[in-house]
Structure 1
Amino acid sequence: MKQHLADRVKTLTPSTTLAITAKAKELKDQGIDVIGLGAGEPDFNTPKNILDAATDSMMKGFTKYTPAGGLPALKQAIIAKLERDNNLTYAPNEVMVGVGAKHVLYTLFQVLLNPGDEVIIPIPYWVSYPEQVKLAGGVPVHLEATAEQQYKVTAEQLRGAITDKTRALILNSPSNPTGMVYTKEELAEIAAVCEEADILIVSDEIYEKLVYNGVKHFSIAQLSDSVKARTMVINGVAKSHSMTGWRIGYAAGNAEIIKAMTDLASHSTSNATTTAQYATIEAYNGPQDAVEEMRQAFESRLTEIYPKINAIPGFHVLKPEGAFYLLPDVSEAAAKTGYESVDAFAKALLEEANVAVIPGSGFGAEKTVRLSYATSLEALEEAVSRMDKFVKSKWQD
């Protein structure tokens, strides 16, 4: 029998983060002491009250199908959270719960895009944005934001990238992989361009709770009713409540789009895992102390480790304002240690220094590597020491 793959998957780029994580695990399984700085998830367990709520739901027999768009009680918990944290008001038919924010984004692009529709994606970007756009028949349009502009695109850049085929802009603040956060003023300028051009804003706010040094997260949907009407807010409990494996995310926005997403989900996933939905109700309705404790731990690590990373020869990094990543430009270090590319440099760090980092090429930023500080301070300091020794031992003036 002939074997054929659909054209839509032939151009997919495998997830760089998952590939590096798998390689690091393989080395660890061989007994090699690898320090992994590729993690895209908090290194804390899910808070106990959430675990208890999940167990309680199962013991009560709440293990059956739910509505495709999410339990009504979960939608209400999400609505209350958006009102409480973001001063945003939504109705139940404007909220859809999915199998993680990644699945929600995938579903959104599937219902939003026709072949040839363009979606503007700022560089550096989260690895799955362009792939999901392509899978929906869309065309990713990359817009580079440099370190000099704190990896944030400007309204002028955006205006110059919009064509009559532009359907949407993806905005990720706080950002994976840069950790940068757009200010209210910057968001207002961007929103004005989107309103002029009549394009949708896809606002990925999954890291909203992880902001540091007095920085505040502000949702672009908060600017005005008209901006809110053209914004699809994407969020979830993965990063905020250390629930990455529970796979619960949601979209809030235009009711027509939400209905289409819900209808599509009914034919793909049926519903997000029932137990995880009950856990998420507790995550949003219960005490939030653990969220703040985790945020403080990340801020403390960042304060401690940032200057040490920046002190490694050939490493140049902006201090992030949110998330739990550092994105140093290591192109000088790579060149001075004899590697033809940052990808090759990152591979050598893993194989020779036993430190796993994510090459920035997966994020559209080929001069960089992404380092996660979602691990213990002891491991971070050892990783920095290994990278510093590695670079100094190979440095060629």
Structure 2
Amino acid sequence: MLGAGVFAAFAPAARAAGAGLLIGLAVAALVAYCNATSSARLAARYPESGGTYVYGRERLGPFWGYLAGWGFVVGKTASCAAMALTVAAYTLPDAGRPLRTALAVAVVAALTALNYRGVRKSLWLTRLIVTVTLLVLTLAVVAGLTGPAASTANLLPFPGGDAGGILESAGLLFFAFAGYARVATLGEEVRAPERTIPRAIPIALGSTLTVYVAVALAVLIALGPARLAAAADPLAEAAGSWPWLEPVVRAGAAVAALGSLLALVLGVSRTTLAMARDGHLPRALAAVHPRFQVPHHAELAVGVVVAVLIAAVDLRGAIGFSSFAVLAYYAIANASAWTLTRHEGRPPRIVPAVGLLGCVVLAFSLPGGSVLAGSAVLALGAGVWIVRRRVHREPTPRR
């Protein structure tokens, strides 16, 4: 969760709600908690790879599992584009869009090549990246709160946006929480998962939310809503009162985004592999390299699509599209959790109910372009499913 989102999502959120993004952050955290809790209960019931692709299939039917998988692949592919664009925004703050786009595409190409050869983000590297990110964020917060332009008057008017703007900011900030549900997929890898995972989720979300609140207050107090909304690299700009710190923040943002991007390209390609094996995507994407033992066709396809997205959308558009598709994915997760019985470890009914309603409301509160593009891509996925069923005349498996 401490990756590209914390460096990139606050600017578009401020554009939507001003200082009201603080309320949006709380709403996004609540929806994230419900989603993660529902996913944790489902993971305990179905400890398989695939996440909601599996849960939707088992609880709601094959179509909903497929649609969840489709939403995950397209949403996280857009997340990859957003992370690459974040690297470019902080690395080349004064460059024009063509140069930033070229750098972002180069970053994706390099990481795709690393993944192709089986290079993964190890545990020690993850710890190093998180440590560097926390250190950079701490320094940026201190600099922002103590700079000459810092003033609590920058928080006024509060909330600074209407209900629609606050909900839009929540939908955009939901992107910053990406990664929380990975805790819920570790049922086969931890001791006493039925006790450990429900404890780990609120601790992880609470710790991350604490960091996000501190960063949000710092950038608002240092820049004010208007400057924050216009900033391409808000944390670096907020730390500008300490000249030596600005390049450190830029480097830290690049490291955090690169770490997230490396892991995310890996995850998207594996979900693509699973869907290809099940016949929901072209079978060629299920190929595994004989030497490196990686789904090399899927990884190359993901890299190409991410590069195209980088050339077609800006950072705000990538964040909005990603949030819409991933919110649809978690809406299916909450609907699946609702069907669990008490014997199967169902969470309190209020959790999947709030999660499902929250996902739907936040998804359709996003910028209009993101809603239209996301709806069109999900509809395309549903259309592919229908055509494929009719062409192959496959009977729907009984649950």
Give TM-score, length-normalised by structure 1: 0.31
Higher helix share: 2
Give TM-score, length-normalised by structure 2: 0.30
Higher strand share: 1
Task: Compare relative contact order (CA 8 Å, sep 6+) and give the higher one, 1 or 2.
Answer: 2
